Amino acid sequence: MLDKSQRVRLIGFPIDLGTDRRGVDMGPSAMRIADIDLRLQALGYSVIDEGDIPIRNIEIQEEQHARLKYLPEVAEMSHVLSTRVKDVLDSGEFPLIIGGDHSMSIGSLAGIGAHCKENDKTLGVIWIDAHADMNTAETTPSGNIHGMPLAIAMGYGDSSLTSIGGDFRKLDPRNLAIIGLRSIDPGERLLIKELGVAAYTMFDIDKLGMHEVATRILEEMSRSVDHLHISFDVDGVDPDIAPGVGTPVPGGLTFRETHLFMEMISRIDAYASLDVAEVNPILDVRNKTAEFAADVVASSMGKRIL
Ligand SMILES: [Mn+2]
């Protein structure tokens, strides 16, 4: 259970260099307009919004690497985010990082990994996503870095990215679970199998039910990790509920499946950091995706129906 006297530190990371679809750089703004801070304050938390980490926009830079688009800026800004997230954790606060495309998690996981290493904690990650985000420059069909952050956290990828936060593997694949998968590239399929990642596809959720899937994952995580990070790619949710995402894929998590999972997360002692990725206001309808995401975040932090 989260301690509501803990301070939540809201960090905006408006990156859209990791994706081809424009608009996710406005994600932090949309989440603020959806009152993410007030929703958490209503639960009793004190929330400090420290604004956005400034990122140079796409128009004033060159693509350079076709298989790692905008690599220099992504690497530099991931380094900045990593340092910031580590400092927030070191000072005992809860970092809530709002993106931005999912390349944001390169920096957040690097910082969390560095904090865990220094404090002898084992890091666990639950990745909610339609996609596996486990490509490398060798396997990527698009060259978009937002399809790579999980591979990078586990030590696979360009060394300018895997070395952020320190030259070590931030996440042991045994301490990773992915939920909501329904669009996986061939190279990712191989890596998931090679590493034996606990990957719960929509098939598994349909078959077992979200309560069973969440119970299995959280029992395992509660046994084996000290710091649980949630990376919530809003495209894990069905586009009917969350149309404002960069890469929508039909057949995703329902409204209730998403909330149920997050309500269960809130009971886990090790839960200590959260990313929200891929909210794209340009593709949204009257900000409903950010409103939903903000409500889901509140569920993960203790909001209850009764
Ligand atoms: Mn993703």
In this structure, which topology does domain 7-300 adopt according to CATH? Arginase; Chain A (3.40.800)
233 is known as an active-site residue: yes
Centroid of ligand 1 to alpha carbon of 62 (angstroms):
24
User: Which pLDDT belongs to residue 5?
Assistant: 85
Give the full edge-to-edge strand order of the sheet including 123-128. Answer: 46-52, 7-13, 94-99, 271-277, 227-233, 123-128, 176-181, 198-201
Task: Please compute, for residue 15, the number of CA atoms within 13 A of its CA located in the half-sphere on the CB side.
Answer: 32
Distance CA 227, CA 48 (A): 21
Q: Could you report the per-residue pLDDT of 248-266, keeping only the tens digit for each?
A: 999 999 999 999 999 999 9
Which of 25, 235, 284, 295 is catalytic? The answer is 235
Whole-angstrom CA distances from 51 to 91, 92, 287 are 18, 19, 20
pLDDT, tens digit, for every residue of 63-86?
Answer: 889 999 999 999 999 999 999 999
Q: Check residue 1 and give its pLDDT.
A: 61
Q: Smallest Cα–Cα separation from 295: which of 237, 212, 209, 228? A: 237
Q: Give the Å distance between the CA of 102 and the centre of ligand 1.
A: 5
* Cβ burial, residue 113 (10 Å; 0-12/13-18/19+): buried
8 A C-beta contact, residue 102 and residue 21: no
- pLDDT recorded at residue 4: 85
133 CA from centroid of ligand 1 (Å)? 6
The number of CA neighbours under 13 Å toward the Cβ of 57 is 6
CA–CA separation, 152 and 231 (whole Å): 14
Whether 79 is catalytic is: no
Tell me the helices (H) and strands (E) count for the chain, helix number first. 11, 8
* Bridge partner list, 275: 97, 231
Would you list the DSSP string of 160-229? HHHTTTSSS-S--GGGEEEEEE-B--HHHHHHHHHHT-EEEEHHHHHHH-HHHHHHHHHHHHHHH-SEEE
Per-residue pLDDT of the chain (306 residues; tens, 9 = 90+): 678 888 999 999 999 999 999 999 999 999 999 999 999 999 999 999 999 999 999 999 988 899 999 999 999 999 999 999 999 999 999 999 999 999 999 999 999 999 999 999 999 999 999 999 999 999 999 999 999 999 999 999 999 999 999 999 999 999 999 999 999 999 999 999 999 999 999 999 999 999 999 999 999 999 999 999 999 999 999 999 999 998 999 999 999 999 999 999 999 999 999 999 999 999 999 999 999 999 999 999 999 999
Q: What is the whole-number distance in angstroms between the Cα of residue 192 and the centre of ligand 1?
A: 15
pTM above 0.75, yes or no: yes
- Identify which of 4, 1, 9, 3 has the alpha carbon closest to the alpha carbon of residue 274: 9
Query: 195: closest CA among 181, 168, 175?
Result: 175
How far is it, in rounded angstroms, from Cα 237 to Cα 110?
25
- What residues does each domain of the chain span? 7-300
To the query of whether residue 278 is one of the catalytic residues in this protein, the response is yes
Active site (annotated) includes residue 229? no
What letter represents residue 16's amino acid?
Answer: D
The four Cα atoms 137, 179, 251, 104 give a dihedral, to 10 degrees, of -50
pLDDT value at position 27?
98
Do 213 and 204 contact (CB within 8 A), yes or no? yes
Q: Which stretches of the chain are assigned E, i.e. beta strand?
A: 7-13, 46-52, 94-99, 123-128, 176-181, 198-201, 227-233, 271-277
